[in-house]
Amino acid sequence: MPKTTHQLASPDDVEMAFYEGLQNGEIEQIMACWAEDEDLVCIPPGGEPIHGIENIRGLFTALLANGPLTVRPMHVHKSQALTHAIHTVTEHVSVMTDDGQAIAQLYALNVFHKTPQGWRLIAHHTSPGHLADAVEEPMASTALH
């Protein structure tokens, strides 16, 4: 498992490291957020479910092939138990294309599990959202650098 500079002591820590990894184009940081388990799943917007750590690595490697993403998580709703946590997140995504800047509003479901190594991501599902939501500011408690 790749090392991360972040302490993954809580689901919030994992989520922040995950989104920072996307913003910085750091595949190793993104992958360090995932559990060491083959029963992982990632579902990209409009895509098929991707299972297993190596397939998920391939997905994020391809996603970041043209550089980092501008992703601002907003409207996080959290549910946490002793060993599992679920966050629903509205993601504001901005990318440069050949036709200029493209903005998308996505909804994500992040599922975390507490492992012996700390909290880790076990599922990430992203669905298309509404552009009307894209004008809102991110939550003040979520800082991405």
pLDDT, tens digit, 9 for 90 and up, residues 59-78: 999 989 888 889 999 889 99
CA distances from 19 to 31, 91, 99, 100 (A): 11, 10, 25, 23
Q: What does the pLDDT read at residue 140?
A: 37
pLDDT single digits (tens) 6-22: 568 999 999 999 999 99
- The DSSP H or E segment spanning 100 is strand 100-115
Residues 6 or more apart from 45 whose CB is under 8 A from it? 104, 106, 126, 127, 128
Distance CA 113, CA 136 (A): 30
The dihedral formed by the CA atoms of 26, 66, 138 and 91, expressed in degrees to the nearest 10: -100
Q: Is the dihedral of CA 124, 128, 133, 134 positive or negative?
A: positive
Question: Which structural domains are found in the chain, ordered by start?
Answer: 11-133 (3.10.450.50)
The SS3 call for residue 56 is helix
The reported pTM is: 0.82
Give the residue from 68, 79, 84, 70 showing the smallest Cα distance to 24: 68
If you average pLDDT over residues 111-137, what whole number do you get?
A: 81
